[in-house]
Structure 1
Amino acid sequence: MDIRALSDNYAVSPQIEPHDIPLVKEAGFTTVICNRPDAEVPVELHAIAMRTAIEAAGLRFVENPVSPGAMTLDNVATQRDAMAAADGPVLAYCASGNRSSIVWSLVKAPDMALDEILAATTRAGYDHSGLRAQFEAFASQSD
């Protein structure tokens, strides 16, 4: 597993599999957000299968599929709500962790300095400097 922390209570990862769930729990995560649409993965990794395995381990599961290049305001709201409702650290996954880090950035944009957001995603291996204008626009619309 390749877990990359963006903050003390939020990390991203490429696709996880059912055999990874004990490690996710052991790492202290209490909520897992799936940002990957079912159309991208085999049936055994569809959200319903992952929900069943994750909830069986005593963790909370949130399905919030983000299609590449087609993130919506609903995606941002769902991610924000899931993060706010979490009773511990959150792990969000998609194909590479990139979409999960972008949606986190949009959630944080209204309340966190953009340079801090970009520094966090860069430390995690995601260069979102090209998205600065979109993050700024989203933050200004959220005021």
Structure 2
Amino acid sequence: MKVHRLEPGFAVTDALTSSDLEEAMKQGFRTVICNRRPGEAEDYPGGEAFARKAEILGLKWVCIPVSLGEYSQQDVDEFSRTLQESPAPILAFCRTGRRAVHLWAQARAQEPQCNFSGLLQAVREAGHDPQSVADILKIPGEHTAI
């Protein structure tokens, strides 16, 4: 499990396994956000087993399933609420981490004090493409990829 921190108290990773949930707990994470869709891949039939395991481990489990590039305002609002109301640190995941990064960026961009330059820098430092985030957020200009 390769964890990429985007801000204090929040990180993303790619596809988790059941044993990765144990590792997340050992690393101190208290909430896990799943952005995978049930049955999207053979290695991820659905979140029910993960949710049960998270509960056993004492982790809060939140499932906000989305497809890449298809983020509703409801998805973004739910992600934002989870960031605000759930115990930190929070770990979000999907197959590659990209959907989790996109939802985080959209949630933070709604905040009046959002520093867009800092947000894009955090995305870059986490190993993700800041241009894709800039495009989603409609930030003008070219933003160098990784």
Q: Distance in 2 between matches of 1:30 and 1:92?
A: 11
Is the contact between residue 29 and residue 89 of structure 1 (CA under 8 Å) also seen in structure 2?
yes
Q: Which amino acid aligns with 1:94?
A: C
Q: Which residue of 2 aligns with 1:141?
A: none
Q: Which residue of 2 aligns with 1:134?
A: 136
3-state DSSP of counterpart to 1:61: strand
Deviates further, 58-67 or 123-132: 123-132
| From 113, 116, 137, the counterpart of 2:115 | 113
Give identity over the alignment, percent.
27
Q: Which residue of 2 aligns with 1:34?
A: 34
Deviates further, 80-89 or 95-104: 80-89
Can you give the 5+ residue segments of structure 2 that lack an aligned partner in the other structure? 140-146
What TM-score do the two structures reach when normalised by structure 2? 0.87
Q: Which amino acid aligns with 1:109?
A: A
3-state DSSP of counterpart to 1:38: coil
**Which whole-Å deviations, capped at 9, do the CAs of 1:67-125 have from their partners, x for residues lacking one?**
12211111101111111111221000001001100100001013311111100000001
- Superposition deviation, residue 42 in structure 1: 3.3
| Between structures 1 and 2, the one with greater helix share | 1
Q: Which residue of 2 aligns with 1:15?
A: 15
Q: Distance in 2 between matches of 1:91 and 1:131?
A: 19
- Superposition deviation, residue 64 in structure 1: 0.2
Q: Which amino acid aligns with 2:26?
A: E
What TM-score do the two structures reach when normalised by structure 1? 0.89
Q: Distance in 2 between matches of 1:130 and 1:53?
A: 33
Identify if the C-alpha distance between structure 1 residues 136 and 38 changes in structure 2 by more than 3 Å, giving closer, same or farther: same
Can you give the 5+ residue segments of structure 1 that lack an aligned partner in the other structure? 138-143
Q: Which residue of 1 aligns with 2:64?
A: 64
CA RMSD of aligned residues (A): 1.6
3-state DSSP of counterpart to 1:28: coil
Is the contact between residue 105 and residue 133 of structure 2 (CA under 8 Å) also seen in structure 1?
no
- Superposition deviation, residue 134 in structure 1: 3.2
